[in-house]
Amino acid sequence: MKQAMLFRRTLRGFEPVNDIARDAMGKVKIGADVRLEIKRPRSIAWHRRYFALVNLVADNSSYTTEQVHYLMKLRCGCSIPVKERNGTITWMPDSISFDRMDRDEWQVYWSRVVDYVSTELLPGVTAEELEREIRDIAGIAPAA
């Protein structure tokens, strides 16, 4: 997989964080215009939180972890339509990989997932209770 160029926003503008970004900047003349696509990367902590929730739901339902993961993606906006030969449209789970979803997209998806879990998969469990359980499972300290 190709490594992404990472930049940090500072008072001076965007500064390279990794070698590939520094190398790329070194090839651009001072004053030259370049096109950048701004994507805020997700953290691995959010990835752990998500799979802690998947496991929590699987442990408290009749679904397997794989089924929970697929259900979340299908019901929470992370799916793609596939047109079959007979014209029928079938929705398939899409990827939630770091390359496919930046931080902002992830926040929208996460909000939908928590709502779906608390209303459909584990009805009666509040978002706050889910967050507390996830922190315990994933070993994440509460927000200060």
pTM: 0.68
What per-residue confidence (pLDDT) applies to 144?
46
What is the SS3 assignment for 135? helix
Cα dihedral sign, 71-74-80-83:
positive
Q: Distance between CA 71 and CA 143 in Å, rounded?
A: 28
pLDDT at 98: 75
Q: Determine the pLDDT at residue 101.
A: 82
pLDDT in tens, the chain (144 residues): 466 778 888 888 888 888 888 998 899 898 888 887 776 666 777 888 899 999 999 999 999 999 999 999 999 999 999 999 999 999 999 988 877 788 888 999 999 999 999 999 999 999 999 989 988 887 776 654
pLDDT reported for residue 71: 97
Q: Where are the domains of the chain?
A: 1-38, 44-138
Among 67, 50, 47, smallest CA distance to 121 is for 67
Token digits of residue 68: 């929970």
